[in-house]
Structure 1
Amino acid sequence: MSAGAIVSLVAIVLVAVVSAVIGSVGHRTRLTSDFLVASRSVPSRLNASAISGEYLSAASFLGIAGLILIDGVDALWYAVGYTAGYLALLLFVAAPLRRSGAYTVPDFADARLASPALRRVCAGVVILICWLYLLPQLQGAGLTVGVVTGMPDWVGSAAAGAIVLATVAGGGMRSVTFVQAFQYWFKLTALAVPVVVGALIWLGDGHTFGRGEPPEFREPTTVSVTTPVTLDVRLSVDVTARGTVDGQPVDGPVRWVAGSSHDVGEGTELEFAAGEPVPVTSGAPADDETWLRPFATAGEHQLLATYSLILATFLGTMGLPHVLGRFYTNSDGRAARRSAVLVLAMLGGFYVMVTMMGVLSRVYTPQLLVTGRSDAAVLLLPTAMLGSDVLGVVIGGLVAAGAWAAFLSTASGLLVSLASVVSTDVLPRRGSMTARFPLATVLAGVPPTIVALVPTGLNFAEAVALVFAVAASTFCPLLILGIWWRGLTDVGAIAGVLVGGVVSTTAVVAALAGLDPLVAGVGGSWAEVLLHRPAIVSVPLAFLTMIVLSRLTRPRRPIDVDQVLLRLHAPERLGLMRDRLDDRS
């Protein structure tokens, strides 16, 4: 194992140990409110750091930079959407949700519509969303360990799962609050340091993107193709290939002429000399000038795909159980709003760093344009810029540890949401929460950990965008209409959640099954685009279903709807806010 791998592995272990030590304060938890909502006593600034820590996941730390490396400015919609989602949550949901006195999404549904059936449906959707969201987090941990140490990816996934299970089971929400706050500032630092160093190196190089040429290999490079790929050649390139190219066995030098495309088989090795132009995966911008222009390589339905992505990311945030769960920990609605405002600033600063990492990767890790394994860009960038000397190895270890902090913080928040629902809506309410919550944590966390050991091949940002579509199609309509429309009924809510969930989940299942090539917008029919980006259909369909069926079942409106809505919207000083927690356990 190289010195760089040893340093990175030590850094990963250290951040895991520090997180566990910080989380040990949660072992003082005794009450239900300690486990589920940290006794609703988390200050706004601390809560904002914790929210940012758990929200900035594998998709943000690794996936967005990788998409910017390949797609350029078109990939910025991910960062914009993930941030703007908090603006929608601030305006429509944060304060009323806290005033409801609920501590999970199913509990809010029960408080608003008094329907056990709706509560069970919401509990199922929470489990679905959290399990789907946990997969890229745990696989991201595996990728990080695999890239920096050479060990199998499943080792990192299993280790991350075990650490998160131990942290959450011991202290619940109180425990992970301090851990997530620490992890936000740590991973921001892990990005800021290489960005500052890389920007100085880049300015010294004098590289510009305003040219109609592809990136160049800065040194002799050997690329191993792990999955079959089609490469587009912008300028003629000489390459030594060993393996299968265009369906034929090759072992020696070949010349790919400008404007050609070539199918490269799994297991093929490609050797490029320094200064050779970089071929890119089919459909990606082939030169830097095109990379800088929006929709430069757009297919026939790229605009449709973009609008659907925007809808999913803007509205999906307010439907994510682990994000909503953090707002339950504020002392009141005003504090919840303050937390949301601070989160907007924190996310903005983080995504500026991620964007710069993607830009620098275009210059210093061009080999990833050949393999398409763009999620590794952030991890490989420090040594690509600085070499294997002390500074490059140390910064590489810092970035690897920051990536692990991203996985652990988001996975912890997701597991708390899962365990909260399992302990209150799945397990029998016998015994104290101190006994039920650890069992619920294990039951909730083991299945996704096992599934994460099997690679899916999805880009992390793409996988999370699909989960956002599910959240936007289920809980977003329920919360918006439940908070702002007195006409919502339990029948309408159940039908809307189920319709939106089924339509959006179909896309996720198709992607995991390999039926969706994740190239919608580059080509393909409108039906393929909607399979890849379902939110533009599933979200309006969920809203429409809830409204129409609620109007058809008007007599089922709760008789206390006006009182409930008054409690959601009245200022706290009136004293109407009521806590639904039962701390007798």
Structure 2
Amino acid sequence: MDFNYWATGSIALISVATFSLGFRSSRQANTTQDFLVARRTVRSRRNAAAVSGEYLSAASFLGVAGLILKDGTDALWYPIGFTAGYLALMLFVAAPLRRSGAYTLPDFCEFRLRSAGLRRLAAIFVIFIGMLYMVPQLQGAGLTLQHIIPGVPTQLGAALVAVLVTVNVVSGGMRAITLVQAFQYWVKLFAIAAPAFVLCAVFIGDGGARGLGATGLSEPLPPRFAHGATISVETPVVLSVEAPVRLIAEGTVDGMPAAGETYWSPGTHQVAAGTRLTFAAGDPVPVVRGAVGDNADWLSPASDTDDLLTTYSLIFALFLGTMGLPHVLVRFYTNPDGQAARRTTLHVMLLLGLFYLFPTVMGALSRIYLPELLVTGQTDRAMLQLPMAVVDNVAGEILGAVIAAGAFAAFLSTSSGLLVSVAGVLSTDVFKSRVRDFRLATALAGVLPLVAALLLRPADLSLSVGMSFALAASTFCPVLVLGIWWRKITWVGAAAGMLTGGTLVLTALALTTVSGYTGGWAPWFVQQPGLVTVPLAFLAVIVMSKATQRHIPPETKHIRMRMHAPDRLGLIRDRASGLGGGGAARHALGRHRR
């Protein structure tokens, strides 16, 4: 692909706009409270746009379309789960969490259960979830920049995003990024909606799939190449072949050198990195192992037991994981009161529901126009390559530039929120909660995920983020739900639940990573552990709390009344000096230090 001047210019424009808006807002940030919770003055609609802008990450903007391309109907659970999780958040968590007056998730844990040890454990998991979630954002940025500037290493895009968001957060923390994230939501919505409408119009004008000579999406056949294609395989893949195909292969296939015409029978075939595969127009498309090879099956939900359990586990993790994501919850601390937090959540569901209509459409179009991505397994590139595949002229370049700008807005907004949540915990639980401590924590929190993004092999973006949701659902979700609604929870039970769920998910993550390098042997409950880890975490909290009732805080009735009393009673107050001791005293309102 040639250098795309339009896309390069659009990314530069988004970067400049992000920096300018952040710099403008940072001039009003001068206290620790400004940096952590934007002085708790963000109103519902702006906060909803900011939450949506932060939440729509690389997994949403690039990953969902790629998963629709590869997995079809089953992948729809990603956008459904991403959105539906806010329903549970609105019903059970948003308002009581805001009324607690906490600044961070560890702060809430200490406020509710009066344990400095639990606070430290929560801080560790906040940092780990933030780092795990930020890595795919940086990798997605590298993928996008490499697509528009051929030959540029992926490390450059990751470094660009890391530096830009670190500078913005260092300048003004939460106060600086609130306006930026709200702006970036509308950028992302336009950047995906406008190309989707144009590309659908072109598709219909060309006569649909039959007019292009492609296999219809409802036909019981594998997708076919509408035009001849030469594909370079960059990483080793195992391909599933539904129908026999003759092709030209140059490289290593099934462990043997190949240099000419090759016949593939139905089954699986191993293709080494560096191999070139040439297909003729009308050839059936081999798909990377694990993808859906038949278009009729692509439109039908999974019926295999393992696939069904994987789907249920994914739903569990996404629906409950939203309630435990630190960078999402920290935004609700910025609302003036609990009622505003609930309104924010309702608006977020509307904004997310509108956005997720379009990645689904783009994924379906990619199945017709970009079947070669099913061969390489690089389906996260679908959104970036689709415009030129449909409109191979300057108009396609402009549409691609709009999508690239939206993708970079996704990386910047989500990375900013993650950086604020991790830096807030580091500054209040590791350092002394001064403004300069927040800035030092931001620098540290920006460097570590960048190093990980450069060292780790990129996986499907949505799958990487899915593991972050599973970790959040298995650690913070039980503590928040039971801490808000069950009076008998103790800090011992909460710690047991977090350790049980967190250890199991991290073990699954390690096994999944090893499996990816050694043949993909991991079973469903390792790749998507939420269905197992979340119930076990809840069970651990309940059992250990029942066994340690002497550790119930004596102020539990007053704490619960403060969280559940209507806002008009005026019981909301920010965490004060001495309330719960430990880290709470370090950020007492009115005692901020520069």
Aligned to 2:258: 250
Task: Tell me the distance in 2 between the aligned counterparts of 1:517 and 1:305.
Answer: 21
- Residues 70-219 of structure 1: pairs in structure 2 closer than 5 A: 70-150=70-150, 151-204=152-205, 205-207=207-209, 208-219=216-227
Please state how far the C-alpha of 1:517 moved relative to its aligned partner: 7.2
The residue number in structure 1 matching 2:275 is 268
| Match in the other structure for 1:530 | 525
Query: How many residues are matched?
Result: 571
Matches within 5 A, 1:448-467: 448-467=449-468
The reply to whether residue 327 of structure 1 matches residue 332 of structure 2 is yes
Task: State whether residues 158 and 453 of structure 1, in contact with CA within 8 Å, keep that contact through their aligned partners in structure 2.
Answer: no
The answer (yes or no) to whether the contact 1:139–1:455 under 8 Å persists in 2 is no
Counterpart Cα distance in 2 of 1:366 and 1:103 = 48
Give deviations 1:473-499, integer Å, cap 9, x for gaps.
000000001100110111111111111
Distance in 2 between residues matched to 1:541 and 1:3, nearest whole Å: 51
Match of 1:60 in 2: 60
Shift of 1:3: 4.6
State the alpha-carbon separation in 1 of the partners of residues 508 and 540 from structure 2.
20
Contact kept? 2:250, 2:260, Cα under 8 Å: yes
Alignment of 1:361-510 (within 5 A): 361-387=366-392, 389-429=393-433, 433-510=434-511
Aligned equivalents of 1:27 and 1:548: distance in 2? 50
Q: Which runs of 5+ in 1 are unaligned?
A: none
CA distance in 2, matches of 1:110, 1:210: 54
Report the Cα offset of residue 354 of structure 1: 0.8
Residue type of the partner of 1:342? H
Tell me the alpha carbon deviations over residues 273-304 of structure 1, each in whole angstroms, 9 at most, x when there is no partner. 223221111232222112111116x3x42222
1:238 Cα offset (Å): 2.6
Q: Percent identity?
A: 52
Deviation at 1:415, TM superposition (A): 0.2
* Contact map agreement 2:22 2:179 (CA 8 A) in 1: yes
Shift of 1:244: 0.7
Query: 2:581 maps to what in 1?
Result: none
| Aligned amino acid, residue 409 of structure 1 | S
Change in CA separation of 1:332 and 1:192 when aligned onto 2, cut-off 3 Å = same
Q: CA deviation at 1:453?
A: 1.1
- Deviation of 1:455 after TM superposition, in Å, equals 3.8
The one-letter amino acid of 2:561's match is: L
One of 256, 268, 278 as aligned partner of 2:285? 278
Name the residue aligned to 1:317.
Answer: 322
Quote how far apart the aligned CAs of 1:347 are. Answer: 0.7
1:427 shift after superposition: 1.1
State the TM-score, normalizing by the size of structure 1. 0.95
Instruction: Work out whether residues 279 and 370 of structure 1, in 8 Å CA contact, stay in contact via their aligned partners in 2.
Output: yes
| Secondary structure of the structure 1 residue equivalent to 2:558 | helix
The answer to whether the 8 Å contact 1:209/1:292 transfers is: yes
Hey, what does 1:13 align to over in structure 2?
12
The 5 A counterparts of 1:523-562 are 528-562=523-557
Which of residues 570, 573, 578 is equivalent to 2:568? 573
Q: Is the 8 A contact 1:503 1:538 kept in 2?
A: yes
Q: Following the alignment from structure 2 to structure 1, what is the Cα–Cα distance between the partners of residues 519 and 116?
A: 38
State the Cα distance separating 1:555 from its structure 2 match.
1.2
Runs of 5+ unmatched residues, structure 2: 210-215, 576-587
Q: CA deviation at 1:210?
A: 1.8
Match of residue 213 from structure 2 = none
Q: Paired residue for 1:301?
A: 306
Task: Report the AA paired with residue 417 of structure 1.
Answer: S
Counterpart AA for 2:486? W
With the length of structure 2 as denominator, give the TM-score of the two structures.
0.94
Shift of the 75–447 alpha-carbon distance from structure 1 to 2, 3 Å rule, reads: same
SS of the aligned residue for 2:262 comes to strand
| Aligned partner (choices 362, 370, 378) of residue 357 of structure 1 | 362
Change (3 A) 1:158 1:408: same
Aligned letter for 2:573?
R
Could you give the per-residue CA deviations for residues 485-519 of structure 1, whole angstroms, max 9, x where no partner exists? 11011111111111111111111222334458796
CA distance in 1, matches of 2:74, 2:246: 30
Preserved CA contact (<8 Å) 1:511 1:518: no
For residues 380-417 of structure 1, the C-alpha deviation after alignment (integer angstroms, 9 at most, x for no partner) is 01111101x21111111111111111011000000000
Equivalent in 295, 298, 318 of residue 291 of structure 1 = 298
Rounded Cα–Cα distance in structure 1 between residues aligned with 2:99 and 2:517: 41
Partner of 1:267, secondary structure, is coil
| Cα distance in structure 2, aligned partners of 1:13 and 1:44 | 30
Deviations 1:18-68 (A, max 9, x none): 111011122320112110111111111100000000101011111111111
User: Which residue in the other structure is 2:239 paired with?
Assistant: 231
Aligned mates of 2:538, 2:89 — CA distance in 1: 17
RMSD (CA atoms): 1.5
Is the 8 Å Cα contact of residues 64 and 359 (structure 2) preserved in structure 1? yes
**CA distance in structure 2 between the aligned counterparts of 1:272 and 1:508, rounded to whole angstroms:** 36
SS at match of 1:243: strand
1:137-170 deviation line (CA, Å, top 9, x unaligned): 1111011111221211111111111111101110
d(CA) in 1 for partners of 2:64, 2:294? 20
Shift of 1:445: 1.5
**1: CA distance, partners of 2:187 / 2:495:** 41
Alpha-carbon contact 2:3-2:148 (below 8 Å) kept: no
Structure-2 separation of matches of 1:179 and 1:201? 33
Change beyond 3 A, Cα 1:517–1:333: farther
The separation in 1 between residues aligned to 2:526 and 2:242, in whole angstroms, is 30
User: Residues 136 and 458 of structure 2 are in contact (CA less than 8 Å); yes or no, is this contact kept in structure 1?
Assistant: no
Contact 2:139 2:458 in 1 (8 A): no
Tell me whether 259-268 or 496-505 shows the greater mean CA deviation: 259-268
- State the 1:125 CA deviation: 0.6
